[in-house]
C-alpha cells in the first residue's frame, strides 16, 4: 500500500496523489451486508436546505459493520479486504466457523486467510478483540467502546490508534491520537492494532471535479458575500472582512467550544496537545 503520483499531463494530474489500492483484494461487496443509502442533498424533510455545500456525488450503498465484535471465542477467517465508500479505512469480510459473515474495520497488517477471534482470554494479536483489562500495556488499539456492550465509538478513521499506558482499578488510561490522555472502563472492548489505510492523509484530489464525486459542492468564502449574508461580507474591493467570525457572529479563532460541565470531563486526565490539527 502506498501513494500513487501522476505525471502532469493535465492540470488535474499535476498535484494529484491517490492510493494505489494494492491492499484491496476485491471490488465485489458481500450482498447480504449491503443496505441502501439515500443522499439528502443538505435538505430536511420539507425540502428546505439546512446544510449548505452538500449535493451530487456518486451513489453509495452502506456496508453493515460489526463494531461490537460480540461473537466471542468463535474463530473467523478473513475472506477479503475491501474499499468502503462510507469511511476512510478499509473493511475486512470475516467468515466465522458457523458460516456467518460480518464486516469489520480492517486493522493495518491484516491479511486474507488470517484467522482472528474475539473474547475474554485471547492472544493480543492484530485484529483480535478483547476487553481493555486483558490487553498488555503499551499495545496500540482501535475501535474502542465508551460503555461495555455499546460497540466501538472512537479511533475508527484511517491510520488512527490509541496506546494503552496504564491500568488503575476499574479504569485504564489511553493516549489518544490528539495527545489527550483519558480514562476508559476496563470492561470495554477494543481491537488490537491501528486502523488500515495509513496513507489516506497523503492523498490529494488534484481537481475540483473529483471533490464533487464525494458529494461536496463549491464553498463560497465569507468575505465575498454581501453584508446581509455574512458578518464578514461587504466592503469596497477586496476587503478582508475584519475579525474572523462565523455566520452567526461568534468568534472563530481561540474560542473554546467544549462545554465546561460536560460529564466526560472527569475522565480526561490531560487535554490534547496545543496546536493539534495544525502543521506547526
pLDDT score at 249 = 87
pLDDT at 280 over 60: no
- Kindly give, in sequence order, each residue whose CB lies less than 8 Å from that of residue 146, ignoring residues fewer than 6 positions away: 153, 154, 184, 188
pLDDT at 278 over 50: no
Q: Which cell numbers hold the place of 154?
A: 472512537
pLDDT score at 241 = 82
Q: Which cell numbers hold the place of 127?
A: 485484529
Q: pLDDT digits over 14-61, tens only?
A: 999 999 999 999 999 999 999 999 999 999 999 999 999 999 999 999
**What angle is formed at CA 70 by the lines to CA 111 and CA 112, rounded to 5 degrees?**
10
- Kindly report the average pLDDT of the chain as a whole number: 93
Distance CA 24, CA 107 (A): 13
Q: Considering the entire predicted model, what is its pTM?
A: 0.90
Full set of structural domains in the chain with CATH: 3-200+258-270 (2.40.50.140)
pLDDT score at 218 = 96
Q: pLDDT digits over 4-27, tens only?
A: 999 999 999 999 999 999 999 999
pLDDT score at 274 = 67
Q: pLDDT digits over 156-208, tens only?
A: 999 999 999 999 999 999 999 999 999 999 999 999 999 999 999 999 999 99
56: left (phi over 0), alpha (psi -120 to 50) or beta: left
Q: What value does the CA radius of gyration of the chain take, rounded to a whole number of Å? A: 22
Asked if residues 68 and 189 have their Cβ atoms less than 8 Å apart, the reply is yes
**What dihedral angle (degrees, nearest 10) is formed by the CA atoms of 260, 264, 267, 272?**
-60
Asked if residues 129 and 190 have their Cβ atoms less than 8 Å apart, the reply is yes
Amino acid at each position: 500500500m502506498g501513494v500513487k503520483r501522476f505525471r502532469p499531463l493535465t492540470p488535474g494530474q499535476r498535484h494529484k496523489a491517490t492510493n494505489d489500492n494494492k491492499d484491496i483484494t476485491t471490488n465485489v461487496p458481500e450482498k447480504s451486508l449491503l443496505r441502501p443509502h439515500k443522499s439528502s442533498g443538505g435538505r430536511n424533510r420539507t425540502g428546505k436546505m439546512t446544510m449548505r455545500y452538500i449535493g451530487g456525488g456518486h451513489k453509495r450503498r452502506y456496508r453493515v459493520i460489526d463494531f461490537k465484535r460480540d461473537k466471542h471465542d468463535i474463530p473467523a477467517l478473513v475472506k477479503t479486504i475491501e474499499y468502503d465508500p462510507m469511511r476512510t479505512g478499509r473493511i475486512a469480510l470475516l467468515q466465522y466457523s458457523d458460516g456467518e459473515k460480518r464486516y469489520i474495520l480492517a486493522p493495518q497488517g491484516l491479511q486474507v486467510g488470517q484467522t482472528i477471534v474475539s473474547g475474554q482470554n485471547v492472544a493480543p494479536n492484530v485484529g483480535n478483540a478483547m476487553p481493555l483489562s486483558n490487553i498488555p500495556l503499551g499495545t496500540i488499539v482501535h475501535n474502542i467502546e465508551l460503555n461495555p456492550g455499546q460497540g466501538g465509538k472512537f479511533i475508527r478513521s484511517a491510520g488512527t490508534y490509541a496506546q494503552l499506558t496504564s491500568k488503575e482499578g476499574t479504569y485504564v488510561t489511553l493516549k489518544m491520537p490528539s495527545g489527550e490522555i483519558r480514562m476508559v472502563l476496563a470492561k470495554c472492548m477494543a481491537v488490537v492494532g491501528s486502523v488500515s489505510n495509513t496513507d489516506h492523509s497523503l492523498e490529494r484530489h488534484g481537481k475540483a471535479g473529483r471533490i464533487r464525486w464525494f458529494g461536496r459542492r463549491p464553498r463560497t468564502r465569507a468575505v465575498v458575500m454581501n453584508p446581509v449574508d455574512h458578518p464578514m461580507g461587504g466592503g469596497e474591493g477586496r476587503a478582508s472582512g475584519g475579525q474572523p467570525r462565523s455566520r452567526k457572529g461568534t468568534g472563530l479563532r481561540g474560542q473554546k467550544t467544549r462545554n465546561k460541565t460536560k460529564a466526560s470531563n472527569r475522565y480526561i486526565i490531560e487535554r490534547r496537545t496545543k496546536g493539534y490539527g495544525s502543521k506547526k
